[in-house]
Amino acid sequence: MPASSSTARLRHIARNASDRLLRPQTLVTAGQLPYDVLKHDGLISLRHYGPLDAPSIEVNGQTLPVSPTRHKIPLLIVPPLAINMLVYDLFPERSLVKYLLAQGFDVYLIDWGKPGRRQAHFTLATYVHKFMPGLIASVRDHSGSKDISLHGWSMGGGLALAYAALSGDRGIRNIITLGTPVDGHANGALGRQYARLGRLLHKARLSWRKVPARWNYAPGWVNVIGFKLSDPVSSVKGYVDLFRNLHDREFVAQHANQGAFIDSLEAYPGGVIRDWMTSVWLENETASGQITVGRETAYFLNIKANILCIAGASDNLANQPCCERLLDVVGSKDREFYLAPGGHIGIVSGSQAAESVWRKTVEWLGERSD
């Protein structure tokens, strides 16, 4: 390599390394899709993404035409807690929301906000009973449609299922779950560990449900560490790949966008993580088709909505048997399982998501949204 080329390469490496380390915000292009805030209570907000003003969009280097027709039934994205919303609009060319808009869907999204210690007492019932009904009512008022579809990733799918089961809301036409754990004890080695812990607590006549909510509160930085430790090999590999590709501005920018999401997780309200941990992982009551919501029990047999259950083939947090159990316990006649490439985040915003999960989602949902 000529000396001038080597010098230029070193300059690129130095600039990219400096920007990634000291000025990562200059590389971040996530979260740029415009939206309107329809409702905001100081913590939680409801977004509405308007139709795209363009004849086509770019998705992973391919041109996708924007549909001139709109589906009648709106789609409400129900995220899990503890994440920021960048994952749904991670890159200009890899944005789930933009893809859905291009396919003719009217898209709404719940932003759970940034809960702090003042919200540590929030429980699963707080979100299912207090927040979900009002947010869904706002979607109906704005869209003019009684029927809506719900799209829930991870715990977001659990919130959608609990609401549909407990409310008896027949206007919930379709529910899509992605990486939502249902049979926690079937989740490989992690599930077996939770099963053993659950048995020990049962023998000792102890219940995690009785632990004060404030003791379960997990600040954002704890969730970041916990998430990275759930797949330490991939976490380390990501930084190794960054080091090897510091000369590539586009690669460095992608790493910065992913970091903007993963390194900025929000806190878990203590009551929510306690309830979720108990129902799904320790007592595993969801595997038998029920979940405790406050003083009530939500039975999944009460769910009549069409169900698309998606799992990631390499998801360590909610594997195929863990997710697929949902089809055995819901009351839906129209139910389908789809195994997609990717891990827990990959099925939402990974490089293969558009050709697998997103395409499957719009094909399945499109047939049931008119």
**Whether pLDDT at 9 is above 80:** no
| pLDDT given at position 23 | 83
**Pairing outcome for strands 75-78 and 148-153:** parallel
| pLDDT given at position 11 | 80
For the stretch 55-68, pLDDT in tens is 999 998 899 999 99
Can you tell me which residue has the tokens 């200009």? 92
Cα–Cα separations (whole angstroms), residue 58 to 61, 64, 92, 124, 365? 6, 6, 8, 38, 22
Question: C-alpha 297: how far from its chain's center?
Answer: 24
Q: How far apart are CA 327 and CA 333, in angstroms?
A: 10
**DSSP code, position 184:** G
Backbone angles phi and psi of 46, in degrees to 5:
-115, 120
Backbone angles phi and psi of 31, in degrees to 5:
70, 30
Q: How far apart are CA 182 and CA 329, in angstroms?
A: 9
Cα–Cα separations (whole angstroms), residue 334 to 43, 138, 149, 306, 330? 36, 27, 14, 5, 10
| pLDDT given at position 26 | 79
Domains of the chain: 31-219+267-366 (3.40.50.1820)
- What is the mean predicted confidence (pLDDT) over 224-239? 75
For the stretch 247-266, pLDDT in tens is 888 777 777 777 777 788 89
Q: How far apart are CA 6 and CA 306, in angstroms?
A: 58
Backbone angles phi and psi of 53, in degrees to 5:
-100, 65
- What is the mean predicted confidence (pLDDT) over 216-222? 89
Q: What burial letters (b/e) apply to 227-253, b meaning 16+ CB within 10 Å?
A: bbeebeeeeeebeeebeebbbeeeebb
Q: Name the least confident of 11-20, 39-48, 99-108.
A: 11-20
Q: Which residues pair with 123 in a beta bridge?
A: 271
Answering whether pTM is above 0.85, one says yes
Radius of gyration of the chain (CA): 21
Q: What burial letters (b/e) apply to 257-277, b meaning 16+ CB within 10 Å?
A: bbbbbbeebbbbbbbbbbbbb
Q: Tokens for 356?
A: 């697998």
For the stretch 131-190, pLDDT in tens is 999 999 999 999 999 999 999 999 999 999 999 999 999 999 999 999 999 999 999 999
| pLDDT given at position 101 | 97
